[in-house]
Amino acid sequence: MPNVTVGTSQVKLLDENPRRKRVVIQVQSTNVVAANTGITYIGAGFQPQSSPTLPLADYSLLQSDLINLPTQGQKLSAKWKRAIWAISDTAAQTLLVEEETEEEPPTAAPP
């Protein structure tokens, strides 16, 4: 999983991908990255905000927190196939980000 650094400005973690079938986002533990002490906000299809009074986000993650979608036996919702964004209330938070994509359907051979 590639590392992505997120600070106090929105960062696009993943581009829109209509063939995405799985997404994993994890904030590194403070045992690995001592500076990961903030809150990271994740938005699917929109840029989240980090206002302490009104955070606008799908998820709020602390160190070691994990998003692993879809849940067992489910399909990934269309919302999570859109661009995925993050912002933190603290500079330089390190996340691990991974996506799994469906293979392209085979194309028909020309006649």
Say yes or no: domain 3-101 is CATH 3.10.20.310: no
Count Cβ atoms within 10 A of the Cβ of residue 99 and give its class: 0-12 exposed, 13-18 middle, 19 or more buried: buried
* Distances in whole angstroms, Cα of residue 82 to Cα of each of 18, 66, 77, 108: 7, 19, 10, 28
Mean pLDDT of the 37-51 span: 91
User: What's the pLDDT at 55?
Assistant: 61
pLDDT at 52 over 70: no
Radius of gyration from C-alpha coordinates of the chain: 16
pLDDT at 64 over 80: yes
Name the residue ranges covered by the structural domains of the chain: 3-101
Residue 41 C-alpha from the chain's centroid: 9
Q: pTM score, two decimals?
A: 0.86
Higher pLDDT, 102 or 104: 102
DSSP state of 23: E
Selected residue with higher pLDDT from 91 and 55: 91
Report which DSSP code applies to 73: T
Q: How far apart are CA 97 and CA 12, in angstroms?
A: 11
